[in-house]
Structure formats: structure tokens, C-alpha cells
Structure 1
């Protein structure tokens, strides 16, 4: 099975961890070619892969920061309106229910689309 790895394709090996439902997938770091034999990935390739990983990590952290900031602003607004902790919990529960409804709606729409 060939899967992309930092812009490159390579052979992957799946390892099932005993006693766990987790699966570990390892990407090869050596590339084998016809007449050339074995060669190591260049430093440039490794740096590019690290750069891509760093960019993804920065993006994920920024999204998490935005979510935390949004939650803090919502909580502050509710507190300023004089709503107590109970009202905050109720608001959080409403949001959770609305998210679940949206997921169910999306799943139903996908199922209807697949039947067409």
C-alpha cells in the first residue's frame, strides 16, 4: 500500500499493538531504487517534512487558541448579563445538543445523497 509522506510516497508498515485497539503506522526513511541501490533521504527532504509538520502544529495551536478565546468571551458576556454558573452550564448543554443535532442532520443528508 502506498501512502503520501510529507509530499513523498513510500511503503508503509502497519503494526497492531497487542492488547490495544490502537494501530501504529511507520513511514520509511530510506528509499530503495533500481540501479542506484539504497540511498538516504536528503537533508533538504527531511527539513521540508519538518517544516510541514511545524506549520500543521502552528495551525492547530492557533485554532485551539481561537476556540479558548471564544469560550472565554462567551462566558464573560453571560456573566456580565448576570447569569450564574447554572445558566452557563445550561447554555453549554444547549450548544452540545445543537451540535449533535447538526451532526445527525448531516449524516441523514449524506445518507439521502448516497441513495440517489
Structure 2
């Protein structure tokens, strides 16, 4: 953490604690905070899901958006893509062990949202 001193309009000095690089919360949000990413992980917790089924589960997400988020999650090591048929192409997505480590956080977020009527 880096401390900087800022002079306010009235001449008073204010100490600001600024992160020199993204903090832990920000890094975590970069992993899980993209639109639909947490929802995708949540829907994969019970086992592999085919792409079209996952798109339907997400409701308001376009197939293009789902595809983009799945590619991001795959590149981050949170999900695995498996081709189950070439003609016609059919794929399933499954949460990895690393991805499962986020489920506790998502479950607590769900509980918090329900508790506060969010």
C-alpha cells in the first residue's frame, strides 16, 4: 500500500492509502466479476452442461456473450471445455477444481443477497 498526500481546495492535507497495484479484491473481481461469469460457474456446479442448455439456464445472456465468458473462464482455468460430438458439433463445459474454490464465495453472496432482499 502506498501513502500519498493530497492537498485539498481549502489547503488541508489529506493522506490517501492507494494500492500500487490491484488489490486482492480487485484481482478476484477480475476473475469472477465479468458479466455472467459467476452465474456460469454456479450453473456448472452439479456437473457438465452442454452449451445450449447453459445458454437457456442463463436466460438473458446472448449465445455470443455466453461463448465469450466461457472462453475467458476456460483461459483462467475455471472451466474445462470438452467436445462430445463433431457432427453436429456438441460441447460440454465443466467446472474445474480451481473453479470449485469460488463456489463458497458465490454461495455466501447468494445468501447475503437473499438475506437483504437484493
Structure 1 length as normaliser, TM-score?
0.25
Give the number of the structure whose alpha-carbon radius of gyration is greater: 1
Q: Which structure carries more helix by proportion?
A: 1
Whose relative contact order is higher, 1 or 2, with alpha carbons under 8 Å and at least 6 apart?
2
Structure 2 length as normaliser, TM-score?
0.25
